[in-house]
Each structure stands twice: as structure tokens, then as C-alpha cells.
């Protein structure tokens, strides 16, 4: 292995070690939890199924969900029809 | 591996629209540049199709570490497909993921921007690293770590700017929480960097021509 190759592996190794150490320190501070709970905790939202205060919400609304999917499919068809030749 | 895992309704409608509009604009620019450039390389289109499939599949796989995480493969997308095709790949993967309930519709715009930043930085970093480092594994690994770090910073920026509905945290508290979250995410980024490095080394051995075409 030449110096250029070694230096790359050393930089990558040092970066990886520093990042993993930082991750473990953060994990010790926050505790082990699922990805959604981790996000909720980070922004101060109640964990799991607890109710949050009002506001705009699509979650748990299948009709709205299907509606958006249908609109996106329709838009895709229109775009494909008129701009389809990439 | 920064992907905003918040429910629909976490951002106000205003910010949902802002991030969607910026994302659609950037994708529109990428589409315009692709259409106005010479005929796309069929090899690139094929590799783009493969990484789209791989990224969509890996988005849905929960890795049981740190309480459950998933990889994105966005650095790999950037390295193999470049930022123009990469932006279309990111759009498709995020839309399909939202369609099966992974990530809210309202957050697709913000998530596209986060993933786009990762694709773009990986593409630039991989090419820059070639000047300083000869090992493909290190080039790809360092590019992946840099890309995912930037992705996490963009994710933090978007959440800080948008704010969260129904939450009364000071910006300082929000920043602390997001920094810890990003630090944990970066731990997973190292795994993604190793995977990206090994895939690039493998492709470099069997199909080096797919890595040489750095231009779009």
C-alpha cells in the first residue's frame, strides 16, 4: 500500500472512530429507542400514541392519504404524457 | 441516513408547502438539465434504475441497532448516478416510501431536500477525494460520511426553521435535541459508509467503467 492509499484509510478510520464515539455518547444521553420516538423526543413531541395539540394532520386519515396518492398518480400521468421523453 | 421521521402535522401547512415547492423546483431544474443535455448514457439509466430499487428496498429495512434505524444509500446514489439523475431517484424513492406509509406526505418535500443534499455532497466529495486518496474504499467511505453529516445538518436546519406545531420548546432546547439525534444518526452513517465503500470497491473491480464517468 502506498502513502496515498494509507492516508485515505487513516482519515476514514479516524473519522469513523470519532463519529461512532459521538454516537455512543449521544445514545447514552438519550437512551435506546425506536426511530420515531427518537425524533419525537428530539423535538419535544409526546412519544407513541399520545395526543398532541391540534394543528394540521393527515396521520390516520386513510381518505386524505388515498386522495393525495391519487392526485400524485394523476400528476405523474400528465407529466409523463407531456414531458415523458427524458 | 437523515430522513425526517415526524408525523404529518408536525410542520405547519406553510412550511410543508415551502419545502415541497423548493424540492419540486430543484427536481424541475434537474429534469430540465437532463432533457436539454445530450442523450443520456444508457449505462447511467440502468445503474439509476438499480440504485432506485436498492434504495427503496433498504429504506424499508429496520436495522436493529440504536433502537432501530434504516439506511438510505443516498451517498451511493450520488456516487453512481450523479446529482441530476440522483435527484429523480430521490424523488421516486421518497414518493414510493410515503405511498406505503414510510414518512408523511407533508414531509416528502423536506425529506427530498435532505436526501438531495446527501446525493450532491457525496457526488462532489467522491470526485474531490480522488485527488487526495487512491483507495476507492476510502474515497467512497469519506464521501458517505461527509454527505450524511451534511444531510443531518440540513435535516436540523429544516426542523429548526419550520418549528414544530404544538410544541413549546426554545430554539436552544430544539437544537440540543436535534444535535443528539444527529449524533446517533451519524453512528449509523458509519455503517452506511462501510457498505458504500464495499459496494464501490466491488463495482470498481467488476465494472470500473461505471465509476469512471464522473461527468453528466
**Which residue stretches of chain B are H helix?**
13-36, 42-59, 74-99, 108-132, 136-162, 171-206, 209-212
Q: Which residue has the higher pLDDT, A85 or B76?
A: B76
Res B23: pLDDT = 95
Q: What are phi and psi of B71, to 5 degrees?
A: -90, 165
| Gap between the Cα atoms of B68 and B61, Å rounded | 9
Concatenated DSSP letters of B5-50:
---TTSS-HHHHHHHHHHHHHHHHHHHHHHHHSSPPPHHHHHHHHH
Mean pLDDT of B151-159: 94
In angstroms, the first-to-last Cα distance of chain B is: 25
Res B215: pLDDT = 40
Of B13, B145, B178, the CB nearest to A15: B145
Taking CA atoms, B165 is separated from B9, B13, B168, in Å, by 7, 10, 8
Per CB-CB distance under 8 Å, the chain B contacts of A85 are 35
Angle between helical axes of B74-99 and B136-162 (0-180°, round to 10): 40
Q: Which residue has the cell 426553521?
A: B161
| Gap between the Cα atoms of B86 and B73, Å rounded | 11
Res B122: pLDDT = 96
Per CB-CB distance under 8 Å, the chain A contacts of B141 are 12, 15-16
In the structure, what pLDDT confidence band is assigned to residue B216 with cuts at 50, 70 and 90?
Answer: very low
- Mutation target to probe the B interface, by most B beta carbons within 10 A, among A9, A20, A39 is A39
Mean pLDDT of B61-72: 78
- Mutation target to probe the B interface, by most B beta carbons within 10 A, among A2, A8, A66 is A8
Res B214: pLDDT = 43
3-state secondary structure of B198: helix
In angstroms, the first-to-last Cα distance of chain A is: 44
Q: List pLDDT tens digits, range B82-105.
A: 999 999 999 999 998 888 878 788
In chain B, where the domains are located: 13-211
Per CB-CB distance under 8 Å, the chain B contacts of A7 are 132-133
Residues in chain A where the model's pLDDT stays below 50: 54, 86
Question: Does 3.60.9.10 match the CATH number of domain B13-211?
Answer: no
Among the ranges given (A76-80, B52-56, B126-130), the one the predictor scored with the smallest mean pLDDT: A76-80
Res B51: pLDDT = 93
In chain A, where the domains are located: 7-48+59-83
Distance from CA of B34 to the nearest CA of A (A): 7
Average pLDDT, chain B: 89
Distance from CA of B177 to the nearest CA of A (A): 4
Stated length of chain B:
216
| Gap between the Cα atoms of B148 and B82, Å rounded | 16
Contact B35 A19 (CB under 8 A): no
- Does the ipTM surpass 0.85? no
The total of other beta-carbon atoms located within 10 Å of residue A47's CB is 12
Alpha carbon A74 to its chain's center: 26
Cell of B141: 467511505
Amino acid at each position: 500500500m502506498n502513502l496515498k492509499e494509507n492516508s485515505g484509510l487513516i482519515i476514514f478510520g479516524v473519522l469513523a472512530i470519532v463519529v461512532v464515539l459521538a454516537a455512543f455518547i449521544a445514545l447514552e444521553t438519550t437512551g435506546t429507542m425506536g426511530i420515531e420516538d427518537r425524533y419525537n423526543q428530539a423535538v419535544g413531541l409526546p412519544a407513541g400514541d399520545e395526543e398532541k395539540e391540534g394543528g394540521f394532520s393527515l396521520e390516520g386519515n386513510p381518505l386524505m392519504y388515498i386522495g393525495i396518492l391519487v392526485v400524485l398518480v394523476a400528476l405523474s400521468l400528465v407529466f409523463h404524457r407531456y414531458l415523458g421523453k427524458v | 441516513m437523515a430522513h425526517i421521521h415526524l408525523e404529518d402535522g408536525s410542520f405547519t401547512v406553510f412550511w410543508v408547502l415551502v419545502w415541497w415547492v423548493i424540492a419540486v423546483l430543484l427536481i424541475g431544474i434537474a429534469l430540465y438539465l437532463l432533457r436539454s443535455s445530450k442523450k443520456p448514457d444508457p449505462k447511467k439509466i440502468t445503474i439509476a434504475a438499480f440504485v432506485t430499487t436498492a434504495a427503496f428496498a433498504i429504506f424499508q429495512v429496520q436495522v436493529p441497532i440504536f433502537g432501530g434505524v434504516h439506511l438510505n444509500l443516498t451517498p451511493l446514489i450520488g456516487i453512481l448516478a450523479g446529482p441530476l439523475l440522483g435527484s429523480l431517484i430521490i424523488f421516486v424513492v421518497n414518493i414510493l416510501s410515503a405511498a406505503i406509509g414510510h414518512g408523511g406526505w407533508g414531509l416528502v418535500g423536506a425529506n427530498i431536500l435532505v436526501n438531495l443534499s446527501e446525493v450532491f455532497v457525496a457526488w462532489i466529495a467522491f470526485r474531490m477525494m480522488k485527488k487526495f486518496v487512491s483507495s476507492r474504499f476510502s474515497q467512497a467511505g469519506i464521501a458517505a460520511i461527509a454527505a450524511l453529516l451534511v444531510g443531518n445538518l440540513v435535516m436540523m436546519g429544516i426542523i429548526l426553521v419550520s418549528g414544530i406545531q404544538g410544541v413549546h420548546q426554545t430554539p436552544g432546547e430544539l437544537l440540543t435535541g436535534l444535535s443528539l439525534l444527529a449524533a446517533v444518526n451519524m453512528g449509523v452513517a458509519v455503517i452506511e459508509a462501510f457498505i458504500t465503500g464495499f459496494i464501490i470497491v466491488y463495482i470498481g473491480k467488476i465494472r470500473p467503467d461505471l465509476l469512471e464517468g464522473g461527468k453528466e
